[in-house]
Chains A and B, each alone.
Chain A
Amino acid sequence: AQSVTQLGSHVSVSEGALVLLRCNYSSSVPPYLFWYVQYPNQGLQLLLKYTTGATLVKGINGFEAEFKKSETSFHLTKPSAHMSDAAEYFCAVSEWDYKLSFGAGTTVTVRA
């Protein structure tokens, strides 16, 4: 069975600074990996996903993530934070059974 660990339940960054959200997973098979974002009072929106192929994945709103099999990681980054990036971010994994297992989430606040 798969599991997901997100390091840090809260991250605070200054506007214009690097955003780095950490995600580690455990899986018995090569997984599908996802990052979702949840803005206040909204549902989850897909930021990006890794299925196969290139390990550096680019998503919406300037975010990207890199799949590192040897480290079982899928960390999310954005070079320059914007106030609109304030939200909760969820890492998720699927083992080809089309069910998602989610991490606990990381709340990002952006300081002006």
Chain B
Amino acid sequence: DADVTQTPRNRITKTGKRIMLECSQTKGHDRMYWYRQDPGLGLRLIYYSFDVKDINKGEISDGYSVSRQAQAKFSLSLESAIPNQTALYFCATSDSVAGEQETQYFGPGTRLLVL
């Protein structure tokens, strides 16, 4: 079984709808991240969380919110989806153990289309 799972894998929604993307991990890591990938732009950080009570904005947080329900779960919400949020979204995790903190492990991605 995959260590980092994302649901759904694909989603089509309409402008103005609220949607939630979910991420779960079995790696036991404290740190979790949400990125979006756009062609020619690489991956950009949306939000990150270093533990259950810690939530931080990344470089492109506008229009998004997150919830860290448990150590293993980190959800990304689009409160009112717009077409330019069409992208591939990745969840990632990393450990807090010294020597391992810098390496991130990625889920398979969620492909979102906003019409």
Contact = CB atoms under 8 A, between A and B. Distances in A.
A94 B42 CA distance: 15
A90 B42 contact: yes
Chain B at the A interface: SS class: strand
A45 to B, nearest CB: 7
A56 to B, nearest CB: 18
Contacts of A18: none
A38 B17 CA distance: 30
A43 B109 contact: yes
Interface residues on B, range: 20 to 34
Interface in B65-115: 90, 92, 94, 101-109
A17 interface: no
A94 B90 CA distance: 18
Nearest to B38: A104
Interface of B: 4, 31, 33, 40-45, 48, 50, 58, 90, 92, 94, 101-109
